[in-house]
Amino acid sequence: MPASYASRFDGISGSAIRDIFRLLTNPSIISFAGGNPASSALEPELISRLAQEALAENGVNILQYGQTEGYAPLRQSAAEFFRHNAVEARPDQVLPLVGSQQGLDLICKALINPGDAMLVESPAFLGALQTFKLYQARLVPIEMDEGGAIVEDIEKKIIAERPKLIYLIPTFQNPTGRTLALERRRRVARLANEYGVTLIEDDPYCDLRYRGEALPAIKSFDQGDNVLYLNSFSKIISPGLRVAAAVCTDEELMRKLIIGKQSTDVHSPTLNQAIIDKYLRSGLLEGHIKQICASYAAQMQKMQEMLEGFPKSVRFTRPDGGIFLWCELPKGFDATKLLPEATKRGVAYIPGDHFFALPGGHHNSLRLNFSNASLESIEKGMTLLKGLFVDQGL
Amino acid sequence: MPASYASRFDGISGSAIRDIFRLLTNPSIISFAGGNPASSALEPELISRLAQEALAENGVNILQYGQTEGYAPLRQSAAEFFRHNAVEARPDQVLPLVGSQQGLDLICKALINPGDAMLVESPAFLGALQTFKLYQARLVPIEMDEGGAIVEDIEKKIIAERPKLIYLIPTFQNPTGRTLALERRRRVARLANEYGVTLIEDDPYCDLRYRGEALPAIKSFDQGDNVLYLNSFSKIISPGLRVAAAVCTDEELMRKLIIGKQSTDVHSPTLNQAIIDKYLRSGLLEGHIKQICASYAAQMQKMQEMLEGFPKSVRFTRPDGGIFLWCELPKGFDATKLLPEATKRGVAYIPGDHFFALPGGHHNSLRLNFSNASLESIEKGMTLLKGLFVDQGL
């Protein structure tokens, strides 16, 4: 055993979530715990064909060392693709990543000293919280309502805490499914510009919209290069390929991200970037997204119908898209304590506690994922969940 | 521009090397600067076939989220493969990585607090030095001779500096090509065990041996789980696929590496792991390695023959394998200052300065790579280099 570990690991156990995910390898448990796209939405034959084409056309380039800045054709096609979210960027402002998670790691590497403040939604994506904690950021929760993060609270905390970073998932947020309202997007961009704070806009779910009109990204309102935009191909093409991209219009910050990436993995695997590039240029993506949206919409609706059959004291979100619902039981219920019994009965979720930067007071909440469960499994799993909660006195 | 960057970037410019590599995109320059395998050794057709097979057999699993711990078949086949270096590990002690560089990042993440001491060879691999500097390690150079790092100096500096880590490339070292002698391997493992210091054994070149007998890895002498072994498929299969693996027999450290990796990229791309796994199981790798060794041996010999035609005041290493030669000009020559003129004449190298943890006194050295240059290019490039040095008064 090494003499001592780095202090960034103090208080990091990583065990709770890892234990939950270990449970999910048990195929007899209906899992609403993950954040996986539907396995039926994955396209091994198409990906295989795109890989063959890429290697046939450009094989030596793909297999040789590449540039840290990324595979040039993908920088171009991704820049083009992001336009539909109103994100305007030149190819050299796009940095391909090994998943958006790498973007979170690199932006922290560039900016965060131990003790620096960061504003995070409350609740927030747990994988992001773990990254921020490993950089020993001081996490300051932002209040939310049905319209997403509350801008007045952001401004108050910018003034009080002088944060280095603000982290938001504005569209179909993980874990709540909530979407930041249009006017708030404009205002939060203005705050980032005015106070010179870097805002991370993490946007992996924006294309999974089942109703209502698409909203422009916060990045589209950025007048001062303060917004770092992250998007991922994990939810719409494949998470296993691990391809995402950052849009960074601040040149000096981009340079830091690239140096950080160089020292982290030299460059992203080129074959994977080439596959995604070919997919983006194939003209097939729009149809594929329509198809998965149709399925996910039905799955979300089924889960909400089932929740409507729970006692009225159970509250849940009604998102316009994404892959998650957020559920609140009456005070006194403890989703963490109930999880072992839930999995014993054959259903899993993630207790809400894990999504909060600061401990306490959220034991009665849970996150439910519907994208990787059939209508039948949703019916069965939600029936099991209702039975459990009712048996506990709901 | 963000308010301020993290202090880990103080003094990190990353510019010198990046500028050199930018030069290399100019195809009219003969480059001995990189560390690339020969482009002719890359096998797009075979890789394409392996990708097709993997996706046909196991496509959904490959495209869905995978485990941070890595793709189970590769953990098994890599553990098996490492046996030929006398590294004995169970599959659960193998962690697939996005290049060995990621192993360096993760071990620093697990162990290094700013100011912690690390022992590094002098000279050492510059990509590693950059990673260590970004973790604000205090780098302590170890003296070397023709037999590699000097063990007495390591022990002296362990006692004086109490380092958290020792970093060695024991076989065909980057940049010198030197190999740590057998008895030193045994002794350095014993030091790591005795003083409880973690030793990183970075071993990407071990299979590129052109003469002499293979030496067992330092890891094979590790009696106390203090040696973290890194190996890569970049030099023998493809760097663009970005697949390497760590062997870590310390369970608690492995857990920290996995948590660190989870927060960095969630998991390595599965398709790439599956391709390497299939290659390892194909029975084709041994023949492929024999073939590239035959070419590289001829390239090394050609470069050495050319160096023998330089004035006798030029000294250079005579490795038994690998892809680099280390070259020392007489004192007074400055390889950094001469580089612009070299590239103007059509040849590039990396000035030796970049490979030293502490500045100063190494201006007369340079690293030459021969693996990605034809015999003809080597003849031509070395003639240009000789002309330049002679014109400068060599």
Q: What are the sequence ranges of the domains in chain B?
A: 7-43+286-391, 65-282
B8, B108, B271: residue with CB nearest A240:
B271
What's the CATH fold of domain A47-282?
A: Aspartate Aminotransferase; domain 2 (3.40.640)
Please tell me what DSSP assigns to residue B41.
Answer: G
Reported confidence tier of residue A252, pLDDT bands at 50, 70, 90:
very high
- B159 reaches A (C-beta below 8 A): no
Average of per-residue pLDDT across B106-116:
98
Q: Omega into B44 within 30° of 0, i.e. cis?
A: no
Confidence of residue A389 (pLDDT cuts 50, 70, 90): very high
- Whether the CB-CB separation of B208 and B323 falls below 8 Å is answered with yes
B282-334, pLDDT tens digit by residue?
A: 999 999 999 999 999 999 999 999 999 999 999 999 999 999 999 999 999 99
**pLDDT, tens digit, 9 for 90 and up, residues B67-90:** 999 999 999 999 999 999 999 999
What's the pLDDT tens digit per position in A334-373? Answer: 999 999 999 999 999 999 999 999 987 789 999 999 999 9
Across the interface, whether the CB atoms of A2 and B47 are under 8 A apart is answered no
What Cα–Cα distance (Å) separates residue B90 from each residue in A282, B17, B186, B227, B248?
Answer: 43, 38, 22, 15, 10
Calculate the alpha carbon distances from A209 to A220, A288, B8, B84 in Å.
Answer: 19, 13, 40, 52
Rounded Cα–Cα distance for residues B72 and B91 (Å): 8
* Residue B381 to residue B387: CA distance in whole angstroms: 10
* DSSP helix/strand/coil, A215: coil
Kindly report the number of other CB atoms within 10 A of residue A326's CB atom: 21
Confidence of residue A311 (pLDDT cuts 50, 70, 90): very high
CB interface of A with B, residues 132-151, below 8 Å: 134
Tokens at residue B104, please? 């360096």
Burial class of residue A201, CB neighbours in 10 A (0-12, 13-18, 19+):
buried
Query: A7-43+286-391 domain in CATH 1.10.540.10?
Result: no
pLDDT for A196 beyond 80: yes
Kindly report, residue by residue over B319-333, the tens digit of the pLDDT: 999 999 999 999 999
Q: Which CATH architecture has domain B65-282?
A: 3-Layer(aba) Sandwich (3.40)
With a cut of 90, say whether residue B25 has pLDDT above it.
no
d(CA A223, CA B376): 54
Global pTM reads 0.97
Comparing A17 with A384, the larger pLDDT belongs to A384
Tell me if B242 and A1 make a contact (CB, 8 A cut-off). no
Does position B126 have pLDDT exceeding 90, yes or no? yes
Measured between beta carbons, the chain A residues lying within 8 angstroms of B266 are 99, 101, 127, 239, 242
Same fold, B7-43+286-391 and B65-282: no
CB pairs under 8 A between A and B: 257
pLDDT score at B26: 81
Give the number of other Cβ atoms within 10 Å of residue A29's Cβ: 19
Q: Do B36 and A64 touch (CB under 8 A)?
A: yes
- The average pLDDT across A26-46 equals 94
The two structure tokens encoding residue A321:
């898209």
Distance from CA of B393 to the nearest CA of A (A): 36
Candidates A2, A51, A65; nearest CB to B51: A51
A53-109: pLDDT as tens digits: 999 999 999 999 999 999 999 999 999 999 998 999 999 999 999 999 999 999 999
Contact A64 B101 (CB under 8 A): no
Decide if pLDDT at B129 tops 70: yes
Phi, psi angles (nearest 5°) of residue B139: -85, 125
Tokens standing for residue B373:
């240059």
Task: Please report the pLDDT score of residue B90 as a whole number.
Answer: 98
Are A229 and B96 contacting, i.e. CB atoms less than 8 angstroms apart? no
User: Is there a contact between B272 and A271 if contact means CB atoms under 8 Å apart?
Assistant: yes
DSSP letter at A196 equals T
